[in-house]
Every structure is written in C-alpha cells, then in structure tokens.
Amino acid sequence: MTDEFIREVDEDVKEEKRLKLWKKFFPYVVSISLGIVLFISGFVFWEGYSNNQRQKLGDDFTAAVILASEDDLDASLLALDRIVDKGSDGYVTMAKMKKASILIEKGKIDEGLEIYKDLEKNAVDQSFRDIATILYVLNSLNNESKDDLLKKIIPLENSEIWKSSALELKGYIYLRNNEIDKAIETFETISKLPSKPGDLSQRAKNLINLLKEK
C-alpha cells in the first residue's frame, strides 16, 4: 500500500468519527438551543408588546401555533400569512419567525432561512433581530461555512442578553467542524460566566466532560 492510500484511509476514518460525533450531539444542539431562544423570544415579546397587543392578532397567532403543534402545518402557514398581511405589529414578527421554523420543518430550508435573514435587518425591535440571527445560525450549522457562521454570531457575544446563547452556538460551530479544543475552550468560558442560565451551565460542564473523553 502506498503512503497516499494510507493517508486517504486515515482521513476517511477521521471524517467518519467526526460525523458520528456530530450526529450524536446535533439533535441535542437543536432541541436545547432552540428551546432557549424561543423561551427568551417569548419573554422579550410579552415584555415589549403586552401593553400594545391587539386581541385579534393574538388570537390568530395562538391559533396558528396550536395548528402547528397538531402537525397541521399547511393550515398554520395560512394563519400566519394572514397575520403577516395585517401590519407591522410585534405579532407580525413573531408570525414570520414561526413561519420560518415551519418551512424549515417541512424541508424548505432556504425559504425559512431567507425569512430569518430578512428579520435580521427589518424586525420591529433589535432583540427580534438578534433572535433572528441566532435562529439563522442554529438552522445553518450543517449548510454554511464556519467563518460565515462565526461572523454572524460573534457580535452577539458582547450582548448582555445573548452572550451565553451566542457562546453556546459558537461552541457547537467548532464542534461541527471537529475543532474539539476550541469547542472545549468555548464551553469552559460559558461555565465561568458570572451570570448565565443554570441549565446552560450544567450543559456546558457535561459537554466539556464528554469532549475530553474523546
């Protein structure tokens, strides 16, 4: 066997191990990170718009969410489109975010990501624009380059609100690209933050332990 053949086999083995590692963590990444983002977005939404909400839009949005939870995605999309057509209220931004997540769930990833990209620039509030960035990165981990994703997420590391979530996604970006040492370093940074969600701190510690075993 030639040295080149041995080198190719070695690279294939490393790639297989990397993919197995990522497949092990990816469902965890999506469910946990998305849960954090949606929880925070819900808080920001009600905090910022509860005094101005219009009852009809609120009822429509609730109905759309219920339809999505019952897997009636097409009907949910129609309900969300009706909200989007009614104006620039905060419910419209939330409707667009929900629509993007449904499109991605239906496999229309590019369409969903385009909505997030639009919201990054045009959402009604900076917090919503930041949420759109996080959701875009979260749903692009498998399709975009490390440098492009880091370029989007790194500015949020300076945000008091989004720092911990941004660092968590940064760690997963490094993990996706098999940069284990950088991933560990990032999760260690999270564990040392003076202020962070308790479950995030525990996840960071668990991931550090798992990655150091590799």
Q: Would residue 53 be called left, alpha or beta, if left means φ above 0 and alpha means ψ between -120 and 50 degrees?
A: beta
Does 101 or 200 have the greater pLDDT score?
101
b/e code 96-111 from CB counts within 10 Å (16+ = b): bbbbbbbbbeeeebee
pLDDT tens digits for range 191-204? 888 866 667 777 78
* Domains of the chain: residue spans and CATH: 17-213 (1.25.40.10)
**Nearest to 83, CA basis, from 54, 109, 110, 104:** 54
* Contact by Cβ (8 Å): 186, 165: no
pLDDT at 138: 86
Taking the C-alpha atoms of residue 37 and residue 14, their distance in angstroms, rounded to an integer, is 33
Taking the C-alpha atoms of residue 177 and residue 146, their distance in angstroms, rounded to an integer, is 7
Distant-in-sequence, close-in-space partners of 8: CB < 8 Å, separation ≥ 6: none
pTM of the entire structure?
A: 0.72
pLDDT tens digits for range 121-137? 988 778 888 888 988 99
Taking the C-alpha atoms of residue 50 and residue 30, their distance in angstroms, rounded to an integer, is 28
Token readout for 33 is 């990170």
pLDDT over threshold 70, residue 43: no
pLDDT over threshold 70, residue 11: no
User: What is the residue-averaged pLDDT of the chain?
Assistant: 75
pLDDT at 180: 87
